[in-house]
Amino acid sequence: MENESSILSFRNLSKSFARTNALENINLEIKKGEVFGLLGPNGAGKTTLIRCLIKLINPTQGDIFYKDRLLLDKDVHEHFGFLPENFQPPANLSAQEFLEILCWGLNLKTGYIDSCLKDVGLINQKDKLIKAYSRGMIQRLGLAIALLKQPQVIILDEPTLGLDPIGQNQILSLLIDLHSQGKTIFFSSHIFSQIEKVCNRIGIIHQGKLGFVGSIKDFLDKHHSPTLEEGFLKEVEADDQKNTSR
Amino acid sequence: MIKKILAVSFLNFKQGIRDKLFLSVVFFFVFFLALCVLLGKLSVGESEKVLRNAGLAGIELSCLILVVFSLVFSFYREKESRILEIYLSYFSRSQYISGKLIGYLLICIFYLVLAALGYSLILFLYNGFIWQVTAGIYGLFLKLSIAIGFSLVFSCLFSSPTIAFLCSLFLYLTTEAAYPSLKIILQGANQFQIIIYKCLYYLLPNLDKLDIKSQAVYGELPNLSFFISASFYGLGYCLFLWFIARLIFLRKEY
């Protein structure tokens, strides 16, 4: 049954690379205005799922729906802001130049650049060449790029990777702010404390299968665990045992 | 749509002209010009012609290395650094590939203008300047635009930058040598072989027909209709290569 407030729906989504099933029959609904956290060990399929969502790769089977209709490239270009994991912007440009060219190409107001850079704490370094940026600054610039087109859905793949605790907090506060503005946020992370801080619901993905989808409270109750980390480990172990017994 | 394509072009252009490779090629060309002056001095009585000829050859070689190397490696760098994923969340694949092609054509023009200025200055200083050499540089631009198109196709086709670079470079060299090779081959070939060789020759870009270096050096240029047809040929071939690159890129998963 389709949830009326769903902004994104993954239906029977599978993706295979040669003989490897990277995603198997993923069914997931993302509600409008929620922060959804995708958790999973390395190689679980988090990035593959995000790549399908951004339409960088085509699913082998199944579909993704945006506002109850099939997701189109145009939706991604107009309504999705995306920050990939560990990306590197053009090193010989300044943040200001880079964002200005993007704004010009997309017919966006250039005044919005400053507000984006201010939000991510890069306003004072906007004229520096990107090659002089630290990993954390690059990650923040990535977030500014994702926010530039004022997207309805923000997709972040490990957004706090390489950030110091202050930077991490800054990004998380920004995510909370964006959530309060009604943005839908879909992000993957390995850091449980971050997920606990900002997510309304979580999904646990392991070996390409979505094991659990629900609130953090439901997840902790399911595994009778005091922490998300402990619950996550139990979920993954249980899944591994199920696979071995087969 | 056009603005999005131009945005990708400007990003590539700005990044390209500030790259270390661009500066290195400029320095290489400056040293090459110095060598040309020396060569000119050694060729008594023909010094201006040697200077003109070697200068044009240097511009072609340096620009070829610049555009092919720079395009191929920037394409792979964008893939590896995952900035391509951000671009593809902003622009369609067609817009991206078109922008990339235009961006590198702009880099080529920018470098040719810079090189032409330096080259003309040296020719002025040694009393060897004739305006026809600038038309020779236009011929080089047409040849190099086709090389850019091929680099784009190979970058989309192969997952290794080294293979894409070598294929682009060798294809350029092959097409340069295609006409004299064809003449030699045709002397001993039967009718069937002649058809095959000619088909192959006309399928590959006929860069020899765009090359007017030797005429420009002697101050003799073909008529206007040659320039018009050469421009159409260069543009048409470049569009054909853009179409192939686009087809491949639309089907690729990144």
- pLDDT, tens digit (0-9, with 9 covering 90-100), for A136-156: 888 889 989 998 888 999 999
Vertex A32 angle, CA A29 and A33, to 5°:
125
State the amino acid at position B14 in one-letter form: K
pLDDT for res B64: 93
Residues 74-103 on B with a CB inside 8 Å of A are 81-83, 85-86, 88-92
User: What is the number of CB-based contacts under 8 A between chain A and chain B?
Assistant: 80
Q: Give the strand order in the sheet containing A201-206.
A: A80-83, A153-157, A184-188, A35-39, A201-206, A209-215
Can you tell me the mean pLDDT for A150-167? 85
pLDDT confidence bin for A245, thresholds 50/70/90: low
Instruction: Please tell me the distance from the alpha carbon of residue B236 to that of residue B19, in angstroms, as a whole number.
Output: 30
Interchain CB distance below 8 Å, A87 and B6: no
pLDDT for res B175: 87
Instruction: Please tell me the distance from the alpha carbon of residue A45 to that of residue A24, in angstroms, as a whole number.
Output: 9
Which residues of chain A neighbour B91 with C-beta distances below 8 Å? 77, 105
Is the pLDDT assigned to residue A10 strictly greater than 70?
Answer: yes
- Tokens found for residue A186: 């879909």
Q: Does B11 touch chain A (CB under 8 A)?
A: yes
Interchain CB distance below 8 Å, B86 and A106: no
pLDDT digits (tens), chain B, 254 positions: 889 999 999 999 999 999 899 999 999 999 988 888 888 788 777 778 888 888 889 999 999 999 999 999 999 999 888 999 999 989 999 999 999 999 999 999 999 999 999 989 988 888 878 888 888 899 999 999 999 999 999 999 998 999 999 999 999 888 888 888 888 888 877 888 888 888 888 888 888 888 888 888 888 888 888 889 999 999 999 999 999 999 999 988 77
Mean pLDDT, rounded, of chain A: 86
Instruction: Please tell me the distance from the alpha carbon of residue B11 to that of residue B217, in angstroms, as a whole number.
Output: 36
**ipTM of the modeled complex:** 0.86
CA atoms within 13 A on the CB side of B190: 1
Interchain CB distance below 8 Å, A82 and B3: no
Interchain CB distance below 8 Å, B88 and A87: no
State the amino acid at position A106 in one-letter form: L
Closest to A238 measured CA to CA, from A227, A224, A72, A226: A224
Candidate from B18, B19, B253 with C-beta closest to A56: B253
CA atoms within 13 A on the CB side of B21: 17
For the stretch A223-233, pLDDT in tens is: 788 888 888 88
CB A53 within 8 A of CB A216: no
Instruction: Please tell me the distance from the alpha carbon of residue A217 to that of residue A58, in angstroms, as a whole number.
Output: 34
What is each CA distance from A38 to A22, B94, B95, in whole angstroms?
15, 31, 31
- Tokens found for residue A230: 């402990």
Instruction: Please tell me the distance from the alpha carbon of residue A149 to that of residue A180, in angstroms, as a whole number.
Output: 18
Candidate from B6, B7, B15 with C-beta closest to A93: B15
- Residue to mutate among B85, B93, B106, with most A CBs inside 10 A, is B85
Instruction: Please tell me the distance from the alpha carbon of residue B90 to that of residue B93, in angstroms, as a whole number.
Output: 10
pLDDT for res A108: 83
pTM of the model: 0.87
pLDDT for res A1: 42
Interchain CB distance below 8 Å, B11 and A98: yes
Q: Which residue has the higher pLDDT, A162 or B42?
A: B42
